[in-house]
Amino acid sequence: MELGLNKLPWWGQLALYVVLGAGLVATHHYMYAVDMEAKVARTHAQRRTIETGIARARVEERRLPEFRSRIAELNARLAALRNVLPEQKDVGDLLRRIQTLATQSNLTIRGFKPQPVAQRQQHAEWPISLQLEGTYHDLGAFFDKVSRMPRIINISGINIKAHATTEPSPATVDAQCTVTTFVLMEAPAPGARPGARPAGAGARPPVAAR
Q: Which residue has the higher pLDDT, 176 or 72?
A: 176
Structure confidence at residue 79 (pLDDT): 66
Q: Which domain holds residue 75?
A: 1-84
Neighbour tally for 160: CB within 10 Å: 13
Could you give the percent of the chain with pLDDT greater than 70?
A: 62
pTM for the structure as a whole: 0.49
Q: 109 pLDDT exceeds 80?
A: yes
- What per-residue confidence (pLDDT) applies to 159? 92
Count of domains for the chain: 2
Q: Are residues 27 and 96 in the same domain?
A: no
Q: Which of 125, 126, 124, 127 is CA-nearest to residue 198?
A: 124
- Angstrom distance (rounded) from CA 134 to CA 172: 6
Last residue of one domain, picked from the residues 66, 84, 102 = 84
